[in-house]
Amino acid sequence: MENEQIEEILMVLEDKLGKVVNVLKDDYAVIRAGRANPHILDRLQVEAYGGVSPLNQLGNVSVADARCLVISPWDKSLLKSIEKAIQQANIGINPTNDGTVIRLVFPELTEERRKDLVKQVRKMGEEAKIAARNVRREAMEGIKKLKTGKVVSEDVASNAEADVEEQIEKCTKEIDKTVAAKEKELMTV
């Protein structure tokens, strides 16, 4: 009985920490590093057919070369809507519409811009660590309630708290590794 509740707390903790890291990685995928990356358009919503649809449901997005994305809509009448959505998304790239496809040419990042992006990446990493600490606090409070309610023994509670700390440390290392990888990507010319 007592171990089931502790196991549930630890499973919820592990799940939430996994989500923290995944959200950080998804956010990093959107930050452009001077190279053509189709993920920069993942969250782009386009007005089409009287509604709003994700760009990837309206056409193909492909990498033409290291600095150019090509968007080929299945319906050519959507070119203007896609172009407008890209301009409104404020991703820092002007689309070129040739009547059949839209090209996004990624300019070379300046040193100053790279440093700004690294600051942004570090800030996002710090926010992920804060989210992880909040998850830890929830887990510790759950264990403390079980301990004060005499549902689990002191030993079981302290072992569970040690497991929580171990998972938090593992998550923090994963966040640091992800931040370092993105920084390296941004600073590579």
CATH for 14: 1.10.132.20
Extract the tokens encoding 87.
């301009």
Mean pLDDT, all residues of the chain: 86
Condensed to tens digits (0 to 9), the pLDDT of residues 109-136 reads 788 888 888 898 999 999 999 999 999 9
Domain span including residue 56: 38-105
Amino acid 32: pLDDT: 67
In the chain, what's the furthest Cα-to-Cα distance?
Answer: 71
Total domains in the fold of the chain: 2
55, 75, 105: which is the final residue of a domain?
Answer: 105
Condensed to tens digits (0 to 9), the pLDDT of residues 10-28 reads 999 999 999 999 999 888 8
The CB density around residue 62, as the number of other CB atoms within 10 Å, is 13
State whether 43 and 91 are in the same domain: yes
In terms of Cβ atoms closer than 10 Å to its own Cβ (0-12, 13-18, 19+), residue 2 is middle
State whether 165 and 122 are in the same domain: yes
89, 105, 121: which is the final residue of a domain?
Answer: 105
State whether 72 and 86 are in the same domain: yes
Amino acid 1: pLDDT: 40
Spatial CA neighbour of 61 closest among 52, 112, 50, 46: 46
Mean pLDDT of 137-148: 90
Spatial CA neighbour of 106 closest among 20, 35, 174, 1: 35
State whether 22 and 58 are in the same domain: no
Condensed to tens digits (0 to 9), the pLDDT of residues 41-92 reads 877 888 888 888 888 888 888 888 878 889 898 888 888 888 888 888 877 7
State whether 94 and 129 are in the same domain: no
Strand, coil or helix: what is 125?
helix
% of the chain residues with pLDDT over 90: 32
Tell me the backbone φ, ψ of residue 169, rounded to 5 degrees: -60, -40
State whether 86 and 129 are in the same domain: no
Mean pLDDT of 136-145: 92
